[in-house]
Amino acid sequence: MTYLTRAAAAAGALLAAAGLLTAGPAHAAPRGTAADDWLYLTVTRGDAQSGVTSGALLLCDPPLGHPHAAEACAELAAADGDIARIPHKDVFCPLIFAPVTAHAHGRWNGRPVDYQETYTSKCVMDARTGSVFALED
């Protein structure tokens, strides 16, 4: 549970640093601003309950907070923010069962995003989600 608390605190700190959280009254943001395009991404290797989780906050105007932010933002823009619509890559993945769970939550063009999928391996996840969950250099 401690990790989740730290991850939530880190996400809040990144949002505050990016200027997405303010202490003043809320104002409606015009469509297409940076506040509309952000996702908090996590990848858990192994069992979702006891596996190792890594995460990043992806901002897209300008691309920040992710090792491959520009590529991930371009892929998301082409898919209108729908991770399931990112074109699959034609690759051959080894038939080794090493499950990974990808989770994204945030906003894209003012719409909420909540995506979660468990893949049989990191190779399969990368082939189906492009750079979005490529959280390692």
What pLDDT was estimated at residue 51? 78
Does the predicted TM-score (pTM) go above 0.75?
no
How many of the other CB atoms lie within 10 Å of CB of 63?
Answer: 16
Q: How confident is the model at residue 17 (pLDDT cuts 50, 70, 90)?
A: very low
| Spatial contact of 95 and 125, defined as CB atoms under 8 Å apart | no
| Spatial contact of 32 and 97, defined as CB atoms under 8 Å apart | no
Q: What is the pLDDT of residues 104-119, one digit of tens each?
A: 999 998 899 999 999 9
**Structural domains of the chain, ranges and CATH numbers in brackets:** 37-137 (3.30.350.10)
Tell me the two tokens of residue 116.
Answer: 């979660």
| Spatial contact of 24 and 89, defined as CB atoms under 8 Å apart | no
What pLDDT was estimated at residue 137? 63
Q: What is the pLDDT of residues 40-93, one digit of tens each?
A: 999 999 876 777 899 999 998 889 999 999 999 999 999 999 999 999 999 999
What pLDDT was estimated at residue 93? 94
What pLDDT was estimated at residue 56? 94
**In residues, how long is the chain?**
137
Mean pLDDT of 1-10: 44
What pLDDT was estimated at residue 8? 47
